[in-house]
Amino acid sequence: MGTASFLKRAQALLRIRNQLARECLAELLAVFVLILITLSGSAQMVTSSGMKGNILTAYLAGALAVMVAVYTAGGVSGAHLNPAFSLTMCLLEQFPWWKLPIFVAVQTLGAFISAGAVYALYYDAIQHYSNGTLTASGPRETASIFATYPADYLSLSNGFLDQVIGTALLIVGILAIMDTRNKGVPEGLEPVAVALLVFSIEISMGSNCGCPMNPARDFGPRLFTYVAGWGAEVFRWVEGRGRVGGWQG
């Protein structure tokens, strides 16, 4: 009884009653989970030189990461996970505009922290693969583990179009899944449907830029690579990156 009473008191003490704080923490945790799984899939592929993963497994990891993340925070924050989705909800008047910058900041922070966790998890593998040199281009580059980079042939305008179409398809698909007027997804399986949507976009539109489709997902880890030693090149459009990373959805 004493232990049960202590646990109840601790639970009451730690319980967060402010709704905005609860939503922000849920969004932070969900994005952390999303990026942790997504980047780990890419890290396993890159650092093993394709022996323990390939582009398909990286895409699959990213899609399943979305499913886990939506299950993690869907009941609290709605699991936006993506500034583009938060903006869409504002435009549709289903989300208050004043919350938008807060959610964007939290999503970006979650992605930044998660990139640090993946770097720690794969530190030895990254150092071994890169021979201790952190670069964003060349045959032993490792920056693409964390952020997406354009294929060598891609122009800036085509890259912009690629992201507009990919992100628009993602948003339209999610809205269709959520729309109760459509043929409904069985209750509780909405995250699975979203994961399948993401996977379909990855395997059909991933070759140009790697399907980031998420500003927070791309900018947070990219900022981490900048401060962690990859340098300012991670923010430049440079040819010869070598590969397009896994989905970053």
Confidence at residue 182, expressed as pLDDT on a 0 to 100 scale:
83
Confidence at residue 24, expressed as pLDDT on a 0 to 100 scale:
94
List the pLDDT tens digit at each of the 249 positions of the chain: 466 676 666 666 667 778 899 999 999 999 999 999 999 999 999 999 888 989 999 999 999 999 999 999 988 988 999 999 999 999 999 999 999 999 999 999 999 999 999 999 999 999 999 998 898 888 889 999 999 888 888 888 898 899 899 999 999 999 999 888 887 788 889 999 999 999 999 999 988 888 888 999 899 999 999 999 898 889 887 554 444 443 344
DSSP letters spanning the chain = -HHHHHHHHHHHHH----HHHHHHHHHHHHHHHHHHHHHHHHHHHHHTTTSS--HHHHHHHHHHHHHHHHHHHTTTT----SHHHHHHHHHTTSS-GGGHHHHHHHHHHHHHHHHHHHHHHTHHHHHHHHTT---SSSTT--GGGTS----TT--HHHHHHHHHHHHHHHHHHHHHHH-TTSSPPPTT-HHHHHHHHHHHHHHHH-TTT-----HHHHHHHHHHHIIIII-GGGGS--S----------
Confidence at residue 7, expressed as pLDDT on a 0 to 100 scale:
61
CATH number 1.20.1080.10 is the correct assignment for the domain at 19-235: yes
Confidence at residue 211, expressed as pLDDT on a 0 to 100 scale:
83
- The answer for residues whose C-beta is within 8 angstroms of residue 4's C-beta and 6 or more apart is none
